[in-house]
Amino acid sequence: MKKNVERRRFLKVAGATVMAGTAKAVMGQSLQSEPAVQIAKAARIFSGCCAYTYRHSFQDGSLTLETFIQKAVGLRLDGVDMTVYYMKSTDPGYIENLRYLGYKNGVAFSGVACGASMVQADSAKRAEVLGEIKKWVDVTQRIGAPHLRVFAGKQPVGTTMVQCVSWVVDLMRAASDYSGRKGITIGLEDHVGVSQSADVCLEIMHRVDSEYAGINIDISHFTPTSTQDAYAQIAACLPYATHAHVRAGFDDGSPIDLDRVWKMFADSGYKGYMSYEGEEKSLSDTPHAITEIRRLCKRYSSV
């Protein structure tokens, strides 16, 4: 009985101490913790463009990555996503010069995008892909970007989805272990193939379980299911969003409600780039999509 009384007395004193501490915190913490919470929830959304958007001009030689950086200035973009297909080399000096040009023109590199596909039935081929990803991680670091986009790939004939997901998990884990040591995040795109559904993307993220692994959300690619339309799948993946690729329409040709998408990103507290990835055949005009992206970023960025 005596022990119970002593215990109640202890709890009473401890409770009073906690209440006093709470009262003190309520009076004094608002200048410290509340702004931190507000900042964490606030969206910072920047305009961008993928080099792949101008692939026709890169292919015919009328555009280079050097002039693409200058074009970004004319388009009043915050940053560009540097697709590696158009890098002339990875030799010392070339990559560093691109970094210098970005700095001198006030154009940030939101990321680097490579075409590495991780779904490979042959273990030796998977090892080659990991080596390729590591190579582009090194280039990403040299160019001064924080993010590298990769693909899962299409399911090979004669394999199961379970196998494919496991291969992606293994490679994503190894890649993010490597990239994390350099401060680079690996973003898996929800591209045509294995990673075209939110459920698969989320399973991969949960199993990889790395702060340096996330989802490069291409808002056009999710395949609607009986329980989740494309918007629901975008929303499901937002906690893992590392970067976003933006088009005006879904893969089936239906238009995307970009205001709705931006609001979803803003409500999630997204901080990052919305990079236009279209198919521009002219270098002379400002694409309507980029004008919209600038408008929406301004509207939905809260800080």
Taken as a whole, the chain contains a residue count of 303
pTM tops 0.85 = yes
Q: Where is average pLDDT lowest: 5-14, 70-79, 106-115, 248-257?
A: 5-14
Looking at residue 39, what is its pLDDT? 73
Give the tens place of pLDDT for each residue, 27-81.
344 434 557 667 778 999 999 999 999 999 999 999 999 999 999 999 999 999 9
Q: Which residues of 26-51 are buried (b: 16+ CB within 10 A; e: fewer)?
A: eeeeeeeeeeeeeeeeebbbbbbbbb
Share of the chain above pLDDT 90, in %: 85
CA atoms within 13 A on the CB side of 59: 9
Cα–Cα nearest to 116, from 145, 87, 84, 80: 84
Residue 196 has what DSSP assignment?
Answer: -
Looking at residue 40, what is its pLDDT? 73
Mean pLDDT of the chain: 90
Asked if the model's pLDDT at residue 121 lies above 90, the reply is yes
- List the structure tokens of 123: 């273990």
For residues 90 and 132, what is the distance between their CA atoms, to the nearest angstrom?
A: 13
Confidence of residue 287 (pLDDT cuts 50, 70, 90): very high
Give the tens place of pLDDT for each residue, 187-201.
999 999 999 999 999
For residues 278 and 255, what is the distance between their CA atoms, to the nearest angstrom?
A: 14
Second CATH level (architecture) for the domain 47-300: Alpha-Beta Barrel (3.20)
Q: Is 243 strand, coil or helix?
A: strand
Token pair 């998408």: residue: 261
Looking at residue 175, what is its pLDDT? 98
Instruction: Give mean pLDDT, residues 240-254.
Output: 97
Residue 255 has what DSSP assignment?
Answer: B
